[in-house]
Structure 1
Amino acid sequence: MAQPADLPDRPDVAVAVVLAVSDRDAVARCLLALLPALPAEVPLLAAGAADGLRAVEELCGERGFVALGEDVVAGWNAAAERFPAAALVLVDGPTEVGPSFLEDLLAVAAAEPDAATVTPLSNSAAFLSAPRRNLAWPLLPPELTVVDAAARVREASLGLHPRTPTALAHLALVAAPARALVGGFDVALAPREALADFCARATAAGLAHVVADEVYVGHRGDGAAPAAERDPGQAAAIAEAADDRHSRLARALLAASVVLEPLRVTLDARPLAGGVTGTTIHLVELIGALAARDDVHVRALLPARVGDEAATALRGIGGAIETVDAATPWEQLGRTHVVHRPWQVESAQEMAELDRLGERTVVTNQDLIGYRTPSVFASATRWRDYRQATRDALGLAAMVLFFSQTAAADALADDLVTPERARVVALGARNEHLALAPAAAPPAGLAIDGERPFLLVLGNRYRHKNVRFALELLGALRAEHGWDGDLVIAGAEVLHGSGSGDDAAWLLGYPEHARHVHAVGAVSEPEKAWLLRAAAAVVYPSTYEGFGLIPFEAAAAGTPCLAAPVSALRDTLAPALALLEPWDAAASAARAIGVLTPGAARDALVDGLREAAAPLTWNATGAALVDAYRAAVRLPAPATARLADDLARAEHDYWSARDGIQDGAWRLVRPDQPLLDEGLALRLGGILGEPGGRDRLLGSLPDRPSLAARAAGRLRGAASKPTGDR
């Protein structure tokens, strides 16, 4: 064991490692990882407890080291004096490094020449802790070794090198120019505080401190931050670094976290309250697809009572899901890496609520028909409110998901989302977890001969569903091709944006076809199943869709679907599968007549639709979702997210102050009609601040009961005068 006096000054040494030692076990674990990662030419020095130094001497073998005494901070200074031009790498005894830590640390220092210090991430490192930010935990996740963790972080790192208020004592590189500029370490302080003090002086001198977000080390020691009372300014900077969820540092920590543990996702599944809708199917299948993956932990936010069908499906998915009642106070739930709202957001307030559940918010925008179409709202005001809510939601989201390229392009065309924040995640074409009732039954109100062929239109009666064209197609088939069949319209009426008036006008104009049209309203799942199987063809003349599942549902039932190559259907259907000619009923009838009866043309269309549906599995959807979630955590937080946080904080501060003011006092200072102006407030404050002033003021009031009223009147009179008359 060499002593400091035995070590000559070495101005040529580029880097030296100084180990702070304590107990033998920590030293053994540290050296087992450190020695293979340390080139022979790099000096190893150690300071700390005598038992620790003896352990280093025993365990270092032929490697050799220099003992710097039992005072760690004095040892740092001794190392700096011996190697004035070297970067000092200060290693805490309970730290375990990865094989490339030194190479990577020096590369960061070279890339950041103005940095006084460079600090890696760790499991136990105050505000630099990962996978759980601000939660210094002395052990890594049980399935990880330090080598594994370091490799994962290195591979996934964004190389952001975020700024930090101070280096931390688990491991820090201290640059030689910074030591030359601000001096050594204060030996009157403990090591953690001495390092923080050095960093505060370097900051004051204009230097920076950076995080090596590609370097990760294990640390079994105390991962606390420096004491706040020593330097309030630095403490405030540390608090901000720890709390700011939208910073570059937060992004680097999040990128590390999602590779050190399974990606944790909260799915907003509150619509699963009852019945089966498209949203019900979507939510259950998403939960199932994500729960089937080993790299994802799913937390589902559920309504107080889940519908029977959804509850059965969720039980079938198994115990891989964490379920929470939406009635639980959300502040008790904690944030997962991502929160995903897979259904339309209707207000900025909803986005603020979602932000309490995840570090990054992902939203699914199904389509923009409401954004584009005032007629589907009760008033222009409601429409404008909806447009504002859509803009807010998409602007606040870390990632926006669309069902199709067409839907994404629609949002991009209006600058509602930037390209890097838009992802297409297609739906699965067939249910894999939500088993619907196998029984099929005709709608009770359907008065149609069981042997008579019919066309089927499915969907609520919005104008863009284009039922009018289905009527025209029926007319053309009957008049020009002699097809003796009917049309069944299955879908709920809507209050705003309905096309049923247009449909009624056509029926009145063509009474010879009207008796062959049957509107049955909304249908149950068994009724829908019967209609799909019994129809000669499903007609899907919609002019605008975010995705369009009906062609695949029809084909799954063995029924052809007549659709047009428009909107999102262009993304999923080859031209040969889209037989409708937009919007030419005669031409469409000529192309469709051949598939209305059994034969090769019908079989080819059904087989083609099934083939198009084959890649659209929910497992594929789950994989695309995980890719989108991982992309979301790697992107910078949206600039609007920080502003939303600031506004929310300001509103909280306002109401906290307001709620602390009693109603009588509020009348005096309320912003819209204050009874006190600044001058009168200062005079009253001066009186109340004097010894006995409050008693004197109160004593004067019984004899002058109208004092407050006269003061208020005088103030109101002054307020009513022109500015120049005051």
Structure 2
Amino acid sequence: MLDVTPLLGSPTGMHQLTKGLVEALADRSDVSVAGYAVSARAPRREMIAVASRLGLVVRRSRLPARLCHLGWSLSDRPALSHLVRDADIVHGTNYSAPPGLHRLITAPDLTPVTHPQWCSPAVRGTADALRRAVRRGAHLHVTTQEEAGRAAEVLDMPRERVHVVPVGIRAAPPGDGAAARRLVGSERFVLTLGATEPRKGLTCLPPAMARLPADVRLVVAGPRGRHEAVLEAAVESGGISKRFVRLTEVDEARKADLLAGATVLAYPSLLEGFGMPPLEAAAAGTAVVATAVGALTQILEPEVSLVPAGDAEAFAERLAEAVAEPLPAPPPVLARIAELTWAAAAEQFLGVYGVIASS
């Protein structure tokens, strides 16, 4: 039983993780998959559409997610147990799961625990529920070995209950780069993908644009986040308002077009659990300038040089170099990315589920 709540609303990174895993597990004949969702806001038609697309039975609670997380952080009573009845394994795909036995909880990153000031109130509210869950025996899923060691330390839990499974990188459909350039209104543009959250470090991009030729535009594509106003202020103070393009509705087809048309993908993140957009860009043949965070150090380096997180000056220099001479990812990097499939991830998750069920 998997939490499919991340599939409601804007397509975030957790949306991609949940969708990829559910679809890969549903393709197998040796496991039965069902879903649950906790949302007071999602329209019923959206829930029906999610269940229909996935071909799953999805049980839903209309209680607000924040209220559920608070309850799970305060009590071991099996609140909302009807959502997960008869499940051998309950997999909370986004920091939390109802109290009970045989739980696996995915922490896409440890920001709610280590940097709560960067998080929305809803995400901050998952930290206490996560701490209580691991104290009561829940297993944790993270996406890199580095994150596993950090999780065991900050959550004070046995390392053997922290499981590392990388996410899959879905092969993007061929994009129409010309369509993206028409949309942006320029033949050259710097692209960044993702919500405008504090940990994404996007405020370094407007000053960096001052070093680039005047025809190069900055495109920020993804949902509005907590740093939307901060980014807008940085754009205004950096004097690049006429070179700035903001896209908040980005489906898979539009993302493929943007990746195909971009001169370079910029990813100045300060902290990541994994870091999917640079890998998607590299797989699409787009040049990448990114910080040394998450899984990027394992997959992109040493062939692609990464910038220390938080070094705005170094990032601006590397971005100017990449715009002057865009370099696609070399074959060794592409080979490592090609190994990251959702089928492989599903196989690893089944092994983790088996360990949890026998514990």
TM class by smaller structure: 0.7 to 0.9
Residue 311 to residue 606, structure 1, CA distance change in 2 (3 Å): farther
1:335 aligns with 2:86: yes
- 1:130-149 superposed matches below 5 A: none
Residue 621 to residue 398, structure 1, CA distance change in 2 (3 Å): same
Q: Give distance in 2, aligned partners of 1:531 and 1:290.
A: 29
SS in structure 2 at match of 1:326:
strand
Residue 351 to residue 562, structure 1, CA distance change in 2 (3 Å): same
SS in structure 1 at match of 2:32:
strand
Query: Would the aligned equivalents of 1:437 and 1:525 in 2 still touch at CA under 8 Å?
Result: no
AA of the residue aligned to 1:491: G
SS in structure 1 at match of 2:109:
coil
Query: Would the aligned equivalents of 1:443 and 1:520 in 2 still touch at CA under 8 Å?
Result: no
Alignment-derived partner of residue 470 in structure 1: 205
Residue 591 to residue 393, structure 1, CA distance change in 2 (3 Å): same
1:621 aligns with 2:345: yes
Query: Would the aligned equivalents of 1:268 and 1:340 in 2 still touch at CA under 8 Å?
Result: yes
Alignment-derived partner of residue 142 in structure 2: 402
Q: Give distance in 2, aligned partners of 1:506 and 1:519.
A: 13
Residue 341 to residue 606, structure 1, CA distance change in 2 (3 Å): same
Query: Would the aligned equivalents of 1:457 and 1:470 in 2 still touch at CA under 8 Å?
Result: no
Deviation, 1:516, is 2.2
Query: Would the aligned equivalents of 2:197 and 2:228 in 1 still touch at CA under 8 Å?
Result: yes
Alignment-derived partner of residue 73 in structure 1: none
1:602 aligns with 2:327: yes
Alignment-derived partner of residue 219 in structure 2: 488
Deviation, 1:376, is 4.1
- 1:36-435 superposed matches below 5 A: 266-273=1-8, 276-293=11-28, 296-302=30-36, 306=47, 308=49, 311-312=52-53, 314-315=54-55, 323-326=56-59, 334-345=85-96, 350-352=97-99, 355=100, 359-376=101-118, 385-430=125-170
Deviation, 1:535, is 0.8
Q: Which structure ranks higher in relative contact order (CA pairs < 8 Å, sequence separation ≥ 6)?
A: 2
Deviation, 1:395, is 2.4
- 1:647-726 superposed matches below 5 A: none
SS in structure 1 at match of 2:103:
strand
Q: Give distance in 1, aligned partners of 2:178 and 2:335.
A: 28
Q: Give distance in 1, aligned partners of 2:214 and 2:332.
A: 24
Over aligned residues, Cα RMSD in angstroms?
Answer: 3.6
Alignment-derived partner of residue 304 in structure 2: 577
Q: Give distance in 2, aligned partners of 1:372 and 1:411.
A: 10
- 1:431-442 superposed matches below 5 A: none
Q: Percent of aligned positions with the same letter in both sequences?
A: 27
Residue 448 to residue 610, structure 1, CA distance change in 2 (3 Å): same
Deviation, 1:307, is 5.7
Residue 276 to residue 504, structure 1, CA distance change in 2 (3 Å): closer
Alignment-derived partner of residue 449 in structure 1: 185
Query: Would the aligned equivalents of 1:486 and 1:516 in 2 still touch at CA under 8 Å?
Result: yes
Query: Would the aligned equivalents of 1:464 and 1:499 in 2 still touch at CA under 8 Å?
Result: no
- Rg larger for: 1
Residue 515 to residue 333, structure 1, CA distance change in 2 (3 Å): closer
Gaps of at least 5 residues in structure 2 are 38-43, 62-79
- 1:545-556 superposed matches below 5 A: 545-556=272-283
Q: Deviations over 1:511-548 (max 9, x none)?
A: 2x443233333433333222211110110110111111
Say which of 484, 507, 510 aligns to 2:238: 510
Query: Would the aligned equivalents of 1:280 and 1:310 in 2 still touch at CA under 8 Å?
Result: no
Alignment-derived partner of residue 164 in structure 1: none
Q: Give distance in 2, aligned partners of 1:509 and 1:292.
A: 50
Residue 272 to residue 467, structure 1, CA distance change in 2 (3 Å): closer
Q: Give distance in 2, aligned partners of 1:447 and 1:273.
A: 27
Residue 397 to residue 364, structure 1, CA distance change in 2 (3 Å): farther
Q: Deviations over 1:287-307 (max 9, x none)?
A: 33334445x322312567546
Calculate the TM-score normalised by the size of structure 2.
0.77
Alignment size in residue pairs: 334
SS in structure 2 at match of 1:362:
strand
Q: Give distance in 2, aligned partners of 1:582 and 1:278.
A: 20
Query: Would the aligned equivalents of 2:144 and 2:294 in 1 still touch at CA under 8 Å?
Result: no
Calculate the TM-score normalised by the size of structure 1.
0.41
Alignment-derived partner of residue 64 in structure 2: none
Alignment-derived partner of residue 270 in structure 2: 543
SS in structure 2 at match of 1:297:
coil
Q: Deviations over 1:554-600 (max 9, x none)?
A: 123321221111344223331331343544445445444454367xx
Deviation, 1:466, is 0.6
Gaps of at least 5 residues in structure 1 are 1-265, 316-322, 636-726
SS in structure 2 at match of 1:391:
helix
